[in-house]
A and B are shown apart, each in its own frame.
Chain A
């Protein structure tokens, strides 16, 4: 009912000696942390460093083994259900079919007049909530039709509108194109300046250095750095994050001559994309980028064959097999209830059958075991439940599944979303190896770094149409960022 105004200063949050272990794996060593109002705190660290575990403990999803959480002067079990604290996870918790107004008012006491909903007052309240985070949006638009950044802003507006003064943002900006991410970060900075506490978990160094006042780095479940961001420089931070991880293998880049054409689209239309003309050849990685909603991901599905061709022509060389890293990793990537082993080998089961026709579990276990080792998946246990893995490790498992499947054409959507820097380098190295070995690769990404790291030719999708591909050497990063 307090529309868009914090109900007083944010309480201080103190963590004292929080520990958590899963089986024999110590996810968090004693963590001591103080979160003061008026600051944006950036929480970073490699995949599996314990960031998500810490957030989940605060959100009451896990309970800590030891230690206590203090909100102001009160010791609390967790911060879940506290009106002054809000969590925004990657999925945002919005209902896509409802309008901005309905989403903002969801769960709030309805404003009534004569027993009926007072639309005018509800609309005014929603607009005030948006204004409080400096956003102007048509409140009657269904949330599903907003740009991703605008959706994130609606989630933030809703959190503050419900009286939150402490906000935890878990990777909510990692999927956003730079322009939209900046809008979100700016709005968070403004709220912090007004006295809110903002904690953001992210892998993007530039975001941390731009937006955060203070940086906390978590490695192997320990706080290894806690300093004002002004006192840190990018190089030092990179060194710190990379030092903790196994060194990425250096890969020699040799110019490759493209080989046979495996997939050819000629005026192809499908889903929300087209007509598209595109050739995928052996020994070549093609990169495609564009805004969300531009039909970018439909292009991936079209090439993979999971969206039917509606018009135009698409020819596939005989015997060519295609595999996809899906765009929605969280919902379409893997199998939560199955083990990492079962997730990895799903596409390679035909090769893992014994003479009897039954699965050779011994062969399967060793295959999965070497994938886990090669991709340094954490925890290093092929029998761990996929659902319990951190986002970056899930990404590695999905990629591992594709590698075991050994297709000729790889369609990789957002291959480095939410992964740490070492993994990113590792993924790039894998993609380069694949191209060298003769695969045709289509990288569909909103991350410009992916394009420059592994792609030979680059195109941009806008309004469902793909621009003519240009060699990467002819493009500058700034040029791409202006497009995206």
Chain B
């Protein structure tokens, strides 16, 4: 609702500067905090609407868009890895290298060394733990700025991957070993987009998500509305939206396209959300990120919290490498390095949508999707994929910079 801008006899607008309207007008509303968030969300929707008009069914192809998402799951997981440390107020630049190393190990240990695949997966995640631990210890014990520390460890991790592979790609091939078929190589393998979970599983997830939305929004009850009416209204609204999506947007077909990996991504998001939002560790993480000195004085073991944040980041980065191996079935030098930028973009987009300035798990998930689709829309439109870096960089800078610029009220 726009506050009125009508002049009143008591408070005439200035005659000295006729161009300037005092009082709450559209500009003020645009500058409010709430509007800042709505504004960026709207801007993204506007971009997609633009794509829809420009590219038509080529962009609005649900199967193709979910395939984009499926193929870019390593990026979004890397976004989660970055998020874990950002919440604690630290930067982890080594995640992309960790992802590369894990991809090499996942393929290499199985194919070249013929380790049992279960052991391979455990090894990859253990490397993630160790890498995170080392990062954390360097930052906390040696008091090295995280930016510099992880720049260095990132170089070392990429270096390990290069030394291990001798600078060449590692590929699953018949002469040496193979990746297990449940993991890669068949239409029903985990890494394949055609591996779909049963429909009832997907529908159960949707129902749970809808219920979660109602539970969360129940708390944001406007003053004066009875709780019963508000809850019933919310349930009604959610059902109405689902029905609308089912009839207009063909939701069942949409859900039929969801792959096992996308579901896995959702599961990781739920676990991370629980960790950040519903555990003592998560709260300590936020407190440390918001004000380390105050957290320490309030009895939070900020050093331990910071180290654990890096460990969580390391594990998620390693998981990102494993999913990369699952989708590609191979690992090549520096494979995940270009993902660092979109991963940071996803995490930072989360601060301007669905949040009051903090990093959020669901915002990062959406941010990842936004980053992927913005780039993909241009590719469909005929822009070369070589522009991806420029587009991702622009999304990061503009998504974070524009709301801040709009909020600035100094005249």
Contact = CB atoms under 8 A, between A and B. Distances in A.
Interface string A441-465: 0000000000000000000000000
A333 B290 CA distance: 11
A357 B280 CA distance: 9
Interface in B1-50: 3, 10-11, 13-14, 16-17, 20, 22-24, 28, 31
Interface stretch (A93-101, A159-167, A191-199, A324-332): A324-332
Interface string A315-327: 0000000011010
B291 interface: yes
Interface string A73-89: 11111101100000000
Contacts of B289: 337
A457 B243 CA distance: 71
Interface string B218-255: 00000100000000000000000000000000000000
B152 interface: no
Contacts of A405: 299
A66 B24 contact: yes
Interface residues of A, number: 48
Contact of A68 (B11, B31, B283, B295): B11
Given A338-B286, A358-B278, A385-B356, A62 B297 contact: no
Interface stretch (A267-275, A278-286, A344-352, A467-475): A344-352
B358 interface: yes
Contacts of A338: 286-287, 290
Residue picked from A65, A324, A334, A337, most chain B C-beta under 10 Å: A337
Contacts of A180: none
B290 A336 contact: yes
A359 B283 contact: yes
Contacts of A345: 283
B283 A334 contact: no
A16 interface: yes
B296 interface: yes
A18 B286 CA distance: 37
A66 B410 CA distance: 16
A75 B279 contact: no
Interface string B292-312: 011111111000000000000
Contacts of B24: 65-66
A361 B290 CA distance: 20
Nearest to A81: B410
B187 interface: no
B175 interface: no
B287 A361 contact: no
A66 B298 contact: no
Contact of A332 (B17, B274, B291): B291
Residue picked from B16, B24, B294, most chain A C-beta under 10 Å: B294
B357 interface: yes
B291 A16 contact: no
A304 B299 CA distance: 10
Contacts of B286: 335, 337-338, 342
B411 interface: yes
Contacts of B283: 342, 345-346, 349, 359
A73 B17 CA distance: 12
Given A68-B11, A335-B291, A75 B410 contact: no
Nearest to B288: A335
Nearest to B410: A60
Contacts of A359: 277-280, 283
A30 B280 CA distance: 44
Interface string B269-280: 000001001111
B143 interface: no
B29 to A, nearest CB: 10
A78 B357 CA distance: 26
B141 interface: no
Contact of A358 (B279, B297, B357): B279
Interface in A340-398: 342, 345-347, 349-350, 353, 357-359, 361, 385
A80 B410 contact: yes
Given A65-B24, A66-B23, A326 B294 contact: yes
Nearest to B23: A66
B295 A335 contact: yes
Nearest to B278: A358
Given A337-B357, A359-B278, A346 B409 contact: no
A63 interface: yes
A439 B286 CA distance: 30
Given A63-B28, A67-B11, A75-B17, A350 B280 contact: yes
B22 A68 contact: yes
A63 B14 CA distance: 16
A17 B10 contact: yes
B299 A334 contact: no
A335 B294 contact: yes
B22 A67 contact: yes
A332 B173 CA distance: 58
Contacts of A306: 296-297
A323 B289 CA distance: 21
Interface in B340-359: 356-358
Contacts of B295: 335, 346
A203 interface: no
A334 B291 contact: yes
A206 interface: no
A306 B411 CA distance: 43
B409 A61 contact: yes
A4 to B, nearest CB: 28
A337 B283 CA distance: 12
B279 A332 contact: no
Nearest to A305: B299
A361 B215 CA distance: 12
B70 to A, nearest CB: 30
A324 B300 CA distance: 12
A359 B308 CA distance: 19
A16 B10 CA distance: 9
Nearest to B220: A383
B6 to A, nearest CB: 11
A30 B22 CA distance: 14
B11 A331 contact: no
A436 interface: no
A335 B28 contact: no
A306 B16 CA distance: 57
A60 B411 contact: yes
Nearest 8 interchain pairs by C-beta:
A77-B411, A335-B290, A75-B14, A17-B11, A66-B23, A358-B278, A349-B280, A63-B409
Interface of A: 16-17, 24, 30, 60-68, 73-78, 80-81, 304, 306, 323-324, 326, 331-338, 342, 345-347, 349-350, 353, 357-359, 361, 385, 401, 405
Interface of B: 3, 10-11, 13-14, 16-17, 20, 22-24, 28, 31, 223, 274, 277-280, 283-284, 286-287, 289-291, 293-300, 356-358, 409-411
18 contacts: A60-B411, A65-B23, A66-B23, A67-B11, A77-B20, A304-B297, A306-B296, A306-B297, A324-B297, A326-B297, A335-B290, A335-B294, A342-B286, A346-B284, A346-B295, A358-B278, A359-B279, A405-B299
Given A65-B23, A73-B16, 8 more contacts: A17-B11, A68-B13, A77-B20, A304-B297, A331-B293, A346-B287, A349-B284, A359-B277
